[in-house]
Amino acid sequence: MKLRHLQNALAALTVLSAQASAQEQPLTTKCESAPLMAAFVAFGETGRMPSNLAKFLGDAALNKVEPYKAFDNVYYVGICWVSAWLITSPNGHVLIDTLYGSYTSQMLSNIRALGFDPKDIKLVVVTHGHFDHAGGIGQIKSELAPGTRFAMTKEGWREAAEDSVSHPRFRWQMIEPDIVLTDGQTVTGGDVVIQAFETPGHTMGTASFAFDARDGARVYRAFTVGGLGLNRIRGPEQVEAFIDSVKRIRTLTQDGPRPVELHLTTHGFSTGLNEAKDRLKTRKPIDPHPLVDLPGFRKQLDDLQAGAEKRLVVERQKKAN
């Protein structure tokens, strides 16, 4: 009996040792989507961040991504794990999200490297109040032109202010609310027109954005989903809101005079953007645009809904108990 207990204990230690060893292995050295996605799925399911994921998020060298032109008027200026998009026009630009910490400075350097002046940014829209999307807002405001406007939903502003002083790992300088976005509202920066949609769920203040992406004579209706994960859920009502938002976005890809045609994501690993962007370098004039994948976007939305429906069962059980 004692021998069996010893054998079981040794087996358990072997499993734990293997798991610990796996967590110490680098997630990726090339900003690959698959291992990042797997790590974030595990984080979302357990609520515990793997140690190798935490290490990766803080590694500036591994997160460095060369900025690039995604469309004639849309540029990627983010890092490996968090996106930031610059939508340009002759009379000023719009920035989606601010990154955080030293990555905000990297984003501003990316904008300059592409030949644009950050002071020509007329409008900054922020998807939601989590640190990785809103954490650079104070620095951005101090470095951009005085007339630059900032926009979030009412709840987004509140969440960001709360998170800026209470986040367990990262604190940041928050600004006073500026433009308060409402559902369906259209805002402009320079000649850029961007439409906001309230899509609660990832946080209850999450906004998503629709805008035009030009590719030669072709103009696509692009969409940035403001929140993709269920990693900070506070009850079944939040998951229900997430499901409703995903269903609504799915409808936007099908209905209306100008349906959404592509997803420019807030996290590149979630769509394989990190790999798809490389095909821009070898694209021929007759080739389809490598970032336009409507079936893939719809599948992503369907997968998000299916995962949320499973999570809803868990959250309802928690509440019942």
Q: Report which of 102, 98, 157, 177 is spatially closest to residue 132, judged by C-alpha positions.
A: 98
85-132 pLDDT, tens digit per residue, is 999 999 999 999 999 999 999 999 999 999 999 999 999 999 999 999
Residue labelled with tokens 């940014």:
121
Amino acid 22: pLDDT: 42
Residue 11: per-residue pLDDT = 42
b or e along 231-257 (b: 16 or more beta carbons within 10 Å of the residue's beta carbon)? Answer: bebeebebbbbbbebbeebbebbeeee
DSSP 172-225: -------EEE-TT-EEEETTEEEEEEE--SSSTT-EEEEEEEEETTEEEEEEE-
Taken in order of first residue, the domains within the chain and their CATH numbers are 30-42+64-320 (3.60.15.10)
- Pairwise CA distance, residues 139 & 308, whole Å: 35
**DSSP code string of 58-83:** T-HHHH----EEEETTEEE---SSS-
Single-letter amino acid code for the residue at 81: W
> What is the pTM assigned to this prediction?
0.91
Q: What is the pLDDT of residues 51-83, one digit of tens each?
A: 889 899 999 999 999 999 999 999 999 999 999
